[in-house]
Structure 1
Amino acid sequence: MNIKDLLSSKTQAAMVALGLPADTNTAVTISTKVEFGDYQINGAMAAAKLLKTNPRALAEQLVQKLDLAEMAEKVEIAGPGFINISLRKDWLAAQLADAAQNPRLTLGANPKPQTVVVDYSAPNLAKEMHVGHLRSTIIGDALVRCLEFWGDKVIRQNHMGDWGTQFGMLIAHLEDKLAAGVDLEQVALADLEDFYREAKKRFDDEAGFADKSRDYVVKLQSGDAHCQKLWQLFIDTSIKHSEEVYQKLNVTLGHEHIKPESAYNPMLQPIVDELKAKGLAVEDQGALVVFLQELADKEGNPSPFIVQKTGGGFLYATTDLAACKYRSFELGADRIVIFTDARQALHFKQVELVARKAGLLKDHVAYDHCPFGTMMGEDGKPFKTRTGGTVKLAELLEEAVVRAQAVVEQKSSDLSAEEMAEVARKVGIGAVKFADLSKNRTSDYVFSWDAMLSFEGATAPYLQYAYTRISAILRRAAIDEAFTAPLQLLEEQEKQLAVKLLRLEETLQAVMKEAVPNLLCNYLYELASQFMSFYEACPILKEGIEPELKNSRLMLSILVARTLKQGLDLLGIEVMERM
């Protein structure tokens, strides 16, 4: 359930009854302090200007029209016209009783499911995945998990880079390796970075190799069977590397979600022809360019968007326009979401403008490019190895698990070696993901092993530990998460915990609208912290606690555990019963 939306709906009805337009902003917000109630209605101030009346007087009229008797125990007017709402404990208990029977917890029904295409991860298959691919992969995966949980149809698209000039160089190098009798799995690409460097060195230094590479690009793009066979060997081995990383990261991308650049090749020339026919693309210095006045610079010069190079070659621009058409018309998208780093923001503004002008996107389709900031080292510079090289993602994840094992071993003595290894894997991978996901998507952030593996503060280990504490309480009570009991919210800590549980849908709505999983991270941290406050103030298994009250508090604990587990799963982070 979404209490904020419910209050907004009731407030809007009251405003309409007072003669205000139906689209008047109700400005319902979560109260910033407990003494101000649970929610605030702040729309009276702006609405009073429309009616040319006193805000406080309008707030008083609104209170009289509001139908909140069932859900609110107190409605007060404060200051110039704020309306503070304190929710009834019995009403909150009833909502949670429904949630206890609902596999979707406190979520209501999705009133209008959408088809959402999400483009994320998108590694370049010429190189091994590195830390630069982490943010796109895990932020995108968190969004698709949330959208599917909400009830939308999600189509994952892994727009892998498998086309272009560098592949002529790589398949030429691969052909020579195979001709020399080298086994593909041994050399090909057991280390993609080394393979790429070898090929690039030959391209730069070896006579004739660059020309051969360029010839191979032309042959590859023309459908030459031999070149395509070599290219496919390279692609298959590269994808195997990527999928091993996805498995370690616990993301939901599979082989079936790959829609590489090469898949759009047959569409590129028709797209360019269409742009020319519509007068959008014009020849300029031998290239075909769309000039966008909407993105003109300070001198009024339009922004150039090249769709075909001199000599006839295509660019990322052409491929991304083809992807727009495919996703809008073939996949039937209502919304397209793309995750790349912030440096590509202008490019995707250009893509959307051209696609809309050319009719490659249906009018109703939302096109959301969601840029993200950079992972920085503790020196404030982009995260690198000690020697200044690129940090491979697979190696980063392996190090995370090793470091987590050392931390867990200090805190646990009763786990078997096998259990310890499993806990270390979940803690290490979870720590890396949560540290990233908990930061504002558009901000750069500093990567710190000590901070992310801490059992204090907003970290994955803290939340995983909170879940195991509740699991331990349930074991001591000899019950599991299937246990049910009537709820009674007597203490303020119980009420506040109930209100927080019922804010899951509000949180997810914000996460899905703006693609900001840090809001879910914040919510889960606050929920876990509130549970700790509740646990200290409201004894559960202590001698002398009435059975009904004990069972009610166990029920609250179960709902918190389920919400923590589900919320972390939406972030792609696993929990454990013991740690």
Structure 2
Amino acid sequence: MSYVSELSQRFEAAAGVDPELRPATKPQFGHFQTSVALRLAKSEGKPPREVAQRIIDSVDVADLCEPLELAGPGFINIRLTEKAIADGVTSVLADPRHGVEPAAEPQRVVIDYSSPNVAKTMHVGHLRSTIIGDAFNRILTALGHTVIPQNHIGDWGTQFGMLVEQILTEDIDAGALTLEQADELYKRAAAHYRSDEEFAVLARKRVVALQAGDEQTITIWQQLMAVSKTGFNEAYERLGVKLVDADLAGESTYNDDLPVVVGELEASGAAVIDDGALCIFNEGFNAPLIIRKSDGGYGYATTDLAAIRRRVGPLDADRIIYVTDVRQAGHFAQVFAAARKAGYLPESVQAEHVGYGMVLGPDGRPFKTRDGVAVTLTSLLDAAEEHVARPIALAAIKYADLSNGLNKDYVFDLDRMVATTGDTGPYLQYAHARICQVLRKAEAEEIQVGDKVLELPEAAEQTLALLITRFGEVVGEVADTLQPHRLCSYLYELAGAVARFYDACPVIKSEGLVRESRLALITAAKDVLAEGLDMLGIEAPDRM
């Protein structure tokens, strides 16, 4: 049970407005405080203390709280009973979901994330999209939603004419390439395209051949796809994320839908011809969304509309989430507006763009190699694993990514990120491992670990217990707001409360019901830490 949520509902029933409960500033003021009476006093024209007393007299919290206290100019101090706190932790212990309540109305949620380009190695930007999208996948799944990942890879278009033509020029077996070799091939092809007009003409013709289904061209394209999938899957396995081949839905899968979409938009009047191009004009935007260029070609917007059409249609999505660079926010805002105008995106379906900032180097500049190109995902992971073992390295990277506001840039500083002190992923792992160590010691000394919390005489253990009961509430907030830093902050606060509990409360050396309760308490903390870390895609080790 989340006591904040339960008490808020009861106080709102008595006061008529949200009480905006806050943790008490000092232990002597109880566990929570509300200043709701001060807010109501002005509108009611009554003294705040009189309003506060009326609320105290009418609110029904006797089963959870000690007698409420009227303090100062009209504050209400709230102290939970020791039994209520103990029962709350016991319920978390007994619950396989650790207090995370299933969504009242489960949804089908499509999450568009990762989206690397075929024949190119994944770089630091793909790292952010992949980690963030994976966290959303895990959190929403934990709440009982049906999550449908969509890995919208770049697997079609002009670059493949260039690539296939370069492969034929060099007489390369495309099927024998690694992803790194394909990336080098891409660079050579791009340079060749820029410097040789004859080659550029052949490359453009090769695009036409690809679109027309030319057997030789399609075969090479399929070989490049297979090479890329292998490379992508190696990266996903190394990162420990939930993306598989079945989640692939690249640009090529919408190719046959594009003329259909264009036809529907033109027939409905949602799109109109402007200076030779087919465009959708959306109110509030400075420029139209181009659906078909004047030369007859299609752009990203057309594919994005086709994707929404399919996700709302055959995939039956109630909510669609896009995880991309924050600089694409304007593009998606216009695509969503166009999709609603076209009837592809009903008002009943949520569409959200979650933009992320850049990864910066320790110098505060965009994280690039000495040559000025984006750092590859592989080299970044290699650097992290030179410092620490892979599970700790991944915890450092993922937590650093998720613990700040997603739209902000963050500094990739490995020395700070891998530390087991401070606000880091390894610190949370250490907190979990330390609890496991205490429980192993109890087992070695044949001390039984109970499944109930019976006594919580110390303030430090009450603080820890109350934090444990808030887990489900925090997870629900993150699912609604798509702000994983809230879960990170909660877990960091929980780990800190565990450390302060150890300082104030002996566990193994205590006796009787106190020891039994404290062992149950840290078991609940361990369960919540493990579950919370898993939602972030981070392993919770038993030893460090």
1:182-237 per-position Cα deviation (integer Å, ceiling 9, x unaligned): 44354454433311101101111234211111112122223333322221111121
1:232-269 per-position Cα deviation (integer Å, ceiling 9, x unaligned): 11112112111111111111111111111111122212
Match of 2:373 among 384, 389, 396: 389
Cα offset for 1:105? 0.7
Matched, 1:196 2:186: yes
Matched, 1:292 2:285: no
1:530-564 per-position Cα deviation (integer Å, ceiling 9, x unaligned): 1111111110112xx32221111111111111111
8 Å CA contact retained: 1:128, 1:191: no
Matching residue of 1:565: 530
Mapping 1:90-129, distance limit 5 Å:
90-129=83-122
CA distance in 2 between counterparts of 1:214 and 1:78 reads 78
Distance 1:290 1:247, change over 3 A: same
8 Å CA contact retained: 1:122, 1:160: yes
Matching residue of 1:166: 159
Matching residue of 2:335: 351
Match of 1:282 among 268, 272, 281: 272
Matching residue of 2:350: 366
Matching residue of 1:408: none
2:288 counterpart SS class: strand
Letter in 2 for 1:8: S
Matched, 1:541 2:505: no
CA distance in 2 between counterparts of 1:482 and 1:289 reads 67
- Higher mean displacement: 80-89 or 350-359: 80-89
Cα offset for 1:62? 2.0
What TM-score do you get using the length of structure 2 for normalisation? 0.94
CA distance in 2 between counterparts of 1:481 and 1:163 reads 61
2:260 counterpart SS class: helix
Mapping 1:198-347, distance limit 5 Å:
198-295=188-285, 302-347=286-331
Letter in 2 for 1:321: L
Identity over aligned pairs, percent: 42
Matching residue of 1:10: 10
8 Å CA contact retained: 1:74, 1:87: no
Letter in 2 for 1:155: I
Matched, 1:510 2:494: no
Match of 2:459 among 487, 492, 506: 492
Letter in 1 for 2:304: D
- Higher mean displacement: 108-117 or 523-532: 108-117
Cα offset for 1:336? 1.0
- Higher mean displacement: 63-72 or 167-176: 167-176
Cα offset for 1:126? 3.9
Matching residue of 1:407: none
CA distance in 1 between counterparts of 2:166 and 2:40 reads 70
8 Å CA contact retained: 2:116, 2:154: yes
2:457 counterpart SS class: coil
Mapping 1:474-485, distance limit 5 Å:
474-478=439-443, 483-485=450-452
Matching residue of 1:446: 411
Cα offset for 1:164? 1.7
CA distance in 2 between counterparts of 1:32 and 1:512 reads 28
Unmatched 5+ residue regions in structure 2? none
CA distance in 1 between counterparts of 2:136 and 2:245 reads 19
Runs of 4 or more off by more than 6 Å in structure 1?
A: 479-482
Letter in 1 for 2:339: A
- Higher mean displacement: 245-254 or 85-94: 85-94
Matching residue of 2:168: 175
Matched, 1:431 2:422: no
Letter in 2 for 1:96: V
1:65-110 per-position Cα deviation (integer Å, ceiling 9, x unaligned): 2111111224234455443322222011112112111111122343
CA distance in 1 between counterparts of 2:27 and 2:251 reads 53
CA distance in 1 between counterparts of 2:3 and 2:275 reads 59
8 Å CA contact retained: 2:106, 2:146: yes
CA distance in 2 between counterparts of 1:354 and 1:79 reads 55
Distance 1:444 1:187, change over 3 A: same
Letter in 1 for 2:523: I
1:283 counterpart SS class: strand
Distance 1:78 1:318, change over 3 A: farther
Distance 1:293 1:14, change over 3 A: same
8 Å CA contact retained: 2:107, 2:318: yes
1:265-314 per-position Cα deviation (integer Å, ceiling 9, x unaligned): 2221222222222323222222111122223xxxxxx3321111122111
- Higher mean displacement: 284-293 or 528-537: 284-293
- Higher mean displacement: 47-56 or 256-265: 47-56
Distance 1:233 1:44, change over 3 A: farther
- The number of aligned residues is 542
What TM-score do you get using the length of structure 1 for normalisation? 0.89
Distance 1:514 1:480, change over 3 A: farther
CA distance in 1 between counterparts of 2:25 and 2:202 reads 66
- Tell me how large the CA RMSD over aligned residues is: 2.1
Match of 1:68 among 61, 69, 72: 61
Mapping 1:458-469, distance limit 5 Å:
458-469=423-434
1:369 counterpart SS class: strand
- Higher mean displacement: 214-223 or 528-537: 214-223
2:153 counterpart SS class: coil
8 Å CA contact retained: 1:115, 1:332: yes
8 Å CA contact retained: 1:434, 1:460: yes
Distance 1:44 1:229, change over 3 A: farther
Distance 1:467 1:198, change over 3 A: same
CA distance in 2 between counterparts of 1:199 and 1:427 reads 39
1:499-548 per-position Cα deviation (integer Å, ceiling 9, x unaligned): 01011122112211221111111111111111111111110112xx3222
CA distance in 1 between counterparts of 2:345 and 2:448 reads 46
- Higher mean displacement: 485-494 or 185-194: 185-194
Matching residue of 1:525: 492
CA distance in 2 between counterparts of 1:572 and 1:188 reads 27
8 Å CA contact retained: 2:271, 2:280: yes
CA distance in 2 between counterparts of 1:486 and 1:10 reads 25
CA distance in 1 between counterparts of 2:271 and 2:418 reads 52
Cα offset for 1:55? 4.5
8 Å CA contact retained: 1:2, 1:107: no
